């Protein structure tokens, strides 16, 4: 006898598929019983698609956060190597990390060596690769888990059946801005728009020598502390990722439902609070740097319908990331953030100009130096 799903079950199935579309398979199909935080090792290949850096090797899937918000991060040597490869690349080039080059079919790839580096630049592939997955699995791929290919299905998560426990878990990985649209059964296209926002990038550089488990605990501690500071000031943590042997948080102010007239001032207060928290509470850090910018950006959903994310794109996003990396150890901001915050001029100290990749005429840049009590008194 066939089983026909009820109307409510069909709706629930569609909803969990929409939620899963924002979460990677490494989270969707992981066990729900592990205590947070936890790290789990696997082998994989990383592609940094901005300017094509490729690495491969041992990785760790890290899950951090609290009962309200959780984050998925990939750490390990292969992450450090793909960032190194990206740093060596220019437009229209492909760089293979040392470990990725070791694992390639080297006779079939023409490369140029890079001076003083073990990474290589790919010139061209000599012939069409004839790669047998079965032979690979029978030889060096025995220890690697492989997902079974499902015919006519781009991603298994798009066919998830109703599962209340899984849905409750996956909701923790999605921003409230997006969840509201999903719960209201509204098209996510309504979230895609150009809008003024304030961008906060936070970068934590580690002292070095930490194990994956130690990095996991550090990121977990930071995720909870940073999340509390950001949400308290009406902002959202958009994503957490590894960057140049450090961990970076992208935080957003002024999203739909969170718009405030004084968002730049609150973003600066949150940035200062985050900087102070990391310096005092996280002992394994070498440096914490924060970049803050304000201006029009694209806010919306990008990616394939069955695997996409809500993010921000634009010149001000790039500038905030550059400030974070070029002015280490301080809270830096652009002139628009300074202006729209309406805070006293003596809270800001002009920073020296620096050449920043991909940034032309950034304007006057400042270090924000107000302490918590000064900000509190002003905002009250």
Q: What is the pLDDT of residues 328-349, one digit of tens each?
A: 999 999 999 999 999 999 999 9
Q: How confident is the model at residue 209 (pLDDT cuts 50, 70, 90)?
A: confident
Flag the least confident range among 41-45, 212-216, 266-270: 41-45
Calculate the CA 349 to chain-centre distance: 30
> What DSSP character marks residue 233?
T
The rounded mean pLDDT for the chain is 87
pLDDT at 214 over 70: yes
Confidence band (pLDDT; 50, 70, 90) for 8? very low
Q: What is the pLDDT of residue 6?
A: 45
Residue 83 has pLDDT above 90, yes or no: no
Mean pLDDT of 130-153: 62
Q: Is the pTM of this model over 0.75?
A: yes
pLDDT computed for residue 92 by the predictor: 78
Contacts for 129 with CB less than 8 Å, ≥ 6 apart = 105, 108
Confidence of residue 51 (pLDDT cuts 50, 70, 90): low
Cβ-contact 299, 235 below 8 angstroms: no
Band (pLDDT 50/70/90 cuts) for residue 43 is confident
Quick check: 380 pLDDT over 80?
A: no
pLDDT at 156 (0 to 100): 85
Least Cα distance to 275 among 209, 232, 226, 205 occurs for 226
What whole-number percentage of the chain has pLDDT above 90?
60
Q: What is the mean pLDDT of residues 101-116?
A: 90
- Overall average pLDDT of the 88-94 stretch: 81
Q: Please give the average per-residue pLDDT across 124-135, as a whole number.
A: 78
Token digits of residue 357: 């990749």
pLDDT of res. 310: 96
Q: What is the band of 133 on the pLDDT scale with cuts at 50, 70, 90?
A: low
The residues with which 204 forms a beta bridge, in sequence order, are 247, 288
At residue 351, what are phi and psi to the nearest 5 degrees? -95, 150
- Helical spans, DSSP H, in 3-110: 7-20, 25-28, 77-88, 98-103
What pLDDT does residue 9 have? 45
Strands (DSSP E) contained in 28-147 are: 38-48, 53-65, 70-75, 95-96, 109-113, 120-125
Please tell me the predicted confidence (pLDDT) of residue 141. 52
Enter the tokens of residue 297. 């950006």
Q: What is the pLDDT of residue 1?
A: 33
Asked if the bond preceding 16 is cis, omega within 30° of 0, the reply is no
Question: What backbone phi and psi angles, to 5 degrees, belong to 243?
Answer: -150, 120
pLDDT confidence band for 130 (50 / 70 / 90): confident
Q: Which of the given ranges, 44-48, 56-60, 319-323, has the highest pLDDT on average?
A: 319-323
Question: Is 189's pLDDT higher than 70?
Answer: yes
Determine the pLDDT at residue 80.
Answer: 83
The more confident residue out of 161 and 244 is 161
Please work out, in degrees rounded to the nearest 5, the angle formed at the alpha carbon of residue 166 by the alpha carbons of 41 and 220. 45
Q: Kindly state the average pLDDT of the residues 342-363.
A: 92
Higher pLDDT, 87 or 258: 258
> Highest mean pLDDT range out of 56-60, 76-80, 151-155, 337-341?
337-341
Average pLDDT estimate for 271-285 = 93
- What is the enclosing helix (H) or strand (E) of 286? strand 285-304
Q: Tell the burial category of 307 from Cβ atoms under 10 Å away from its Cβ (0-12, 13-18, 19+).
A: middle
Residues whose CB falls within 8 Å of the CB of residue 103, separated by 6 or more in sequence, listed in order:
56
């Amino acid at each position: 006898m066939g089983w026909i799903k009820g109307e409510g079950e069909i709706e629930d199935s569609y909803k969990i598929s929409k939620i899963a579309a924002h979460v990677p398979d490494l989270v969707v199909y992981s066990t729900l019983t592990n205590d947070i935080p936890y790290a789990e090792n696997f082998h994989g290949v990383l592609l940094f698609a901005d300017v094509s850096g490729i690495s491969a090797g041992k990785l760790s899937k890290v899950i951090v956060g609290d009962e309200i918000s959780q984050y998925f991060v990939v750490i390990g040597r292969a992450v450090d190597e793909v960032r190194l490869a990206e740093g060596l690349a220019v437009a229209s080039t492909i760089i293979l990390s040392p470990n990725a080059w070791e694992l390639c079919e080297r006779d079939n790839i023409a490369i140029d060596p890079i001076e003083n580096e073990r990474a290589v630049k790919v010139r061209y592939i000599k012939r069409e690769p004839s790669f047998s997955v079965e032979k690979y699995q029978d030889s060096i791929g025995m220890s690697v888990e492989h997902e079974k290919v499902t015919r006519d299905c781009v991603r298994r998560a798009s066919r998830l059946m109703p599962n209340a426990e899984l849905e409750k878990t996956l909701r923790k990985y999605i921003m409230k801005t997006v969840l509201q649209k999903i719960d209201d059964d509204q098209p996510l296209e309504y979230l895609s728009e150009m809008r003024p926002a304030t961008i906060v990038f936070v970068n934590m550089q580690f002292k070095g020598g930490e194990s994956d488990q130690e990095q996991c605990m550090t990121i977990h501690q930071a995720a909870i502390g940073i999340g509390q500071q950001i949400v308290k000031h009406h902002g959202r943590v958009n994503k957490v990722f590894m960057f140049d042997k450090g961990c970076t948080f992208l935080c957003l102010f002024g999203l739909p439902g969170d718009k405030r007239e004084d968002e730049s001032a609150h973003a600066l207060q949150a940035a200062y609070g985050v900087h102070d928290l990391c310096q005092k509470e996280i002992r394994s850090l070498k440096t914490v740097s924060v970049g803050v910018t304000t201006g029009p950006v694209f806010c919306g959903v990008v990616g394939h319908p069955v695997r996409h994310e809500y993010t921000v794109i634009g010149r001000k996003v790039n500038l905030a990331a550059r400030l974070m990396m070029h002015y280490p150890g301080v809270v830096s901001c652009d002139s628009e953030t300074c202006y729209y915050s309406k805070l006293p001029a003596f809270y800001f100290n002009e920073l020296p100009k620096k050449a920043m990749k991909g940034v032309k005429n950034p304007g006057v840049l400042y270090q924000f130096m107000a302490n918590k009590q000064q900000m509190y008194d002003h905002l009250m």
